[in-house]
Structure formats: structure tokens, C-alpha cells
Copies of this chain bind each other. A is one copy, B any other.
Amino acid sequence: MIEGWITQLRKGLLEYCVLLVLRRGESYGYEIVQALKRMDDLSVSESTVYPILGRLRNENLLKVRDVPSPSGPPRRYFALTPHGKIRLAEMNAYWPLLTETVERLKTTQPKES
């Protein structure tokens, strides 16, 4: 079905979405998950988001700061590093190119050959 296709479509996109959320300021895992879950058509689970956070951190796009939580284990706050901001800017530049390409394909008329 189409669910499998949607799973594939999300590849890379969720990484972008996480950076976009963090663009607004630092946040911790659970909060990021909630923020993305709130977006309809983007219902993600913990097991999807946490690996992304780990990867982005390994790539030095995110930095981490542990803060004691009022309820539960200490929160791990993530924030964009300078590298992360650059990467996000590159993504912000590329994404519209992609969507425009799709738009162009959608609107081209049938060939009459």
C-alpha cells in the first residue's frame, strides 16, 4: 500500500524536520517527538526520532546539555551547532528546488507526438 511509500518518502525528511524544530531554540527528545507528532501527516515515534538525534550529534550538527528534570531522569537538551546551522541553511536551499521539480513534473502537459 501507500504506507510503505510514505515510509520511504520520510527518509531524510525527518532529519530536516528535526533541525527545523531546533531552529526555534534548544529542546529535548520528548518535546521534539511531541512537536513532530502534533504535525498531522508526520506521526513519528520515539524509535524514529532518537536515532536521528544521535546521528545528528555524531555529525556535530547538534550539541547536548543535560539538565535535571522536575519529573524523571535528566533532560538532554539538543541545540544546533554552527555546523548544524549551516547544514540547515543548505537544506533550506535545496528543499524548494526539489518541490519545484515535482511541481514541474505535475504540471507538464501530455506530449502530443
Contact = CB atoms under 8 A, between A and B. Distances in A.
B5 A97 contact: no
Q: How many monomers of this protein are in the complex?
A: 2
Interface in A35-65: 39-42
Interface of A: 2, 5-13, 15-17, 20-21, 23-25, 39-42, 87, 90-92, 94-95, 97-99, 101-102, 104-106, 108-111
B41 A6 contact: no
Contact of A24 (B40, B41, B109): B109
A24 to B, nearest CB: 4
Contacts of A2: 87, 90-91, 94
Interface centre among A13, A16, A17, by most chain B C-beta atoms within 10 angstroms, is A13
A108 to B, nearest CB: 6
Contact of A5 (B7, B91, B99): B91
